Amino acid sequence: MSYVGPIGVIGAGSWGTTLAQILAEKGYRVDLWVYEADLCAIMAETRENTIYLPGFQLHENLVPHNDLESVVADHSLLVMVVPSHVYRNVASQMLPFLKKGSIIVSATKGIENETLLTMSGIWQEVLPSKSFVQLACLGGPTFAREVIQKIPTAITVAADDLDLARMLQNVFSTSFFRVYTSLDKIGLELAGALKNVIALAAGASDGLGFGYNSRAALITRGLAEISRLGVKMGAHPLTFSGLSGIGDLVLTCTGDLSRNRMVGFQLGQGRKLEDILGEMRMVAEGVKTARSVHFLAQRKEVEMPISELVYQVLFENKKPLLAVRELMDRDLKHELEVSWEMMRDGCQ
């Protein structure tokens, strides 16, 4: 099973442009939808995404378009890389041009605020039938700027069908971009969305002047609550120990290229959220996802103390230092949610 046709990439931010570049360099004809008409014209003329990924020459196989139909119609493989808050709207606009049997790969990391759905969940609501297209998703520790510089990177592609995942593995893999397969779409999508919330907390910890101990504790306990919610929603527990879980979490909580960590850092230094976001051209998905997680945790009755306090800092004006104190003063607990006796019995 292989793919030889043109590929449409929806969304020309830094990650969308990078994925389009990878595919173009492999020899695919790549049509890239650029929302901003002025940026599309600049990219066509200068062969550079001067706003989101300046300094990198675009491959000749990559063709920017401002017209969505040109990127969707007659394309059997589409890669979605638009922000989560516009994902449903763009997906709905794509429907009239979408070929039945197409493959849609989502590379967006977020949870819709209104419905609390992942991106695959949005598609399942938008599509006329569940079998209309095949859905897959990409996740893992990937800063776009490092990937386009061909710095070695590993990522995971998840689909319900292993043959489809393997085909996409071959489509995306290069000598510097290693792709693994998974059958856990919901786990991969949840891990990719929730880690951004924990990255806000890790950034705030750094902004408050705390040390490596604090950051390591936040990452570890953040992973625990991400896993709790993921397993409650049907994900495989081991997904959170993989690239899309701990891999992406560590990267986003520690890397200087992380937008979510940067927002958290400035919150920790006392800046207001609206001022921080007002200066940003690119999206920090963790801000919107924090709202989704707040309500999703309530709906699923899952305890997520770090994510809850991030929500309160963002939307209820709680001071970051007070949030830290509340985390540290919670009732003392066993580290593992499952007792040794239950683990032992489950292995017998």
User: Of the residues 150, 183, 216, which one is the last residue of a structural domain?
Assistant: 183
Q: What confidence tens digit (pLDDT) does each residue in 184-230 have? A: 999 999 999 999 999 999 999 999 999 999 999 999 999 999 999 99
Residue 1 placed within a domain: no
User: Of the residues 183, 209, 235, which one is the last residue of a structural domain?
Assistant: 183
Residue 230 placed within a domain: yes
| Distance separating alpha carbons of residues 185 and 199, to the nearest angstrom | 22
Segments forming the whole domain that contains residue 165 = 7-183
Q: How many domains does the chain have?
A: 2
Residue 342 placed within a domain: no
> 251 and 161 in one domain?
no
> 296 and 147 in one domain?
no
Contact 159, 110 (CB under 8 A): no
> 280 and 217 in one domain?
yes
The CATH number for 193's domain is 1.10.1040.10
> 157 and 301 in one domain?
no
Structure-token pair, residue 149: 């510089």
pTM of the model: 0.93
> 149 and 24 in one domain?
yes
pLDDT, averaged across the chain: 95
* Annotated catalytic residue, options 195, 232, 272, 288: 195
> 261 and 164 in one domain?
no
pLDDT of 343 > 50? The answer is no
H helix runs in 269-319, sequence order: 273-278, 285-300, 305-315
> 193 and 169 in one domain?
no
User: Of the residues 183, 202, 227, which one is the last residue of a structural domain?
Assistant: 183
Crossing angle of helices 185-207 and 119-126, rounded to 10°: 140
Query: Is 195 assigned a catalytic role?
Result: yes
Q: What confidence tens digit (pLDDT) does each residue in 32-52 have? A: 999 999 999 999 999 999 999
